[in-house]
Amino acid sequence: MKLFRKSAKEPERAELDLSRVPAHIGVIMDGNGRWARRKGLPRSVGHKAGADNLEAICDYCGSIGVKALTVYAFSTENWSRPQSEIDALMELLYGYLLTVEEKFKNRSMKLKISGDTAPLSDKIKKAIVHAEEVTASGDGMVLNIALNYGGRSEIARAARLAAEDVKSGKISPEDIDEKYLGGLMYTADLPEVDLIIRPSGEKRLSNFLLWQAAYAEFWYSDICWPDFKEKDMERAIIDFQSRDRRFGNV
């Protein structure tokens, strides 16, 4: 487990409390394009740097006891990007999926993909099935990759599934409550989302985990994702631990 001690120059700040680590963290991996452009590099290089950074962040989160990390890799809106960028992102994801078996084994990590995989290429669909299968018994942290994911489309999908359950007589309309709908979200098997992090300076959810964000704490940072390191994650978690979460109570 990695703890970042303050240096002599740094002002006094609270330390991470390992007994109150958020169970589920969501990350909008934003700012890859800007990171690359500032270095005079193509945007795809920024996405590669973002994917590399995810590995280090996974290791850190796993080491401090985070149970699930959901990362926004490709949104339902990202199809409107130039085809060359879409292709580069898909190749990056495909390459990543091929490495999952090897990488996750030692870490006992489990891979989950959340989103509509139907429009993805056959080779990516196959790689997803394989990566999920070979990591299914992992009892460490779950890395949940939101891929062709949108919060609104996830809620619409849940409504559709509920309507089908009514139609087939499995339930009656009165049975549809928050618990029931929550069970139809991609994240039904994961703990509640405690903390959502958005690097790169933007302060919006951009259709990420809309249902799950109901009581999540939010943290943003001006640092672009490829430069958002373990110490920045630790800072976000320490701040999360200082929040007074009342869940609507007083």
Which residues are near ligand FPP by CB under 6 A? Answer: 29-34, 46-47, 50-51, 54, 73, 78, 89, 92-93, 96, 145, 200
B/e letters for 173-201, b = 16+ CB within 10 Å, e = fewer, are: eeebeeeebeebbbbeebeebbbbbbbbe
Identity of the residue, 26 or 46, whose beta carbon is nearer to ligand FPP in the bound complex: 46
30 carries an active-site annotation: yes
CB of 74 to ligand FPP, least distance (A): 6
CA distance 206 to 77: 9
Identity of the residue, 93 or 185, whose beta carbon is nearer to ligand FPP in the bound complex: 93
Residue with token string 């089908």: 164
78 carries an active-site annotation: yes
CB of 38 to ligand FPP, least distance (A): 9
CB of 212 to ligand FPP, least distance (A): 19
Is residue 198 within 8 A of residue 30, CB to CB? The reply is yes
| Strand extents, DSSP E, 90-216 | 110-114, 142-149, 195-198
CB of 228 to ligand FPP, least distance (A): 11
The phi, psi pair for 109, rounded to 5°, reads -85, 155
Given the residues 30, 53, 148, 194, select the one marked as catalytic: 30
CA distance 80 to 86: 9
Given the residues 53, 59, 78, 232, select the one marked as catalytic: 78
Identity of the residue, 50 or 62, whose beta carbon is nearer to ligand FPP in the bound complex: 50
Identity of the residue, 180 or 220, whose beta carbon is nearer to ligand FPP in the bound complex: 220
CA distance 46 to 58: 18
Catalytic residues: 30, 78
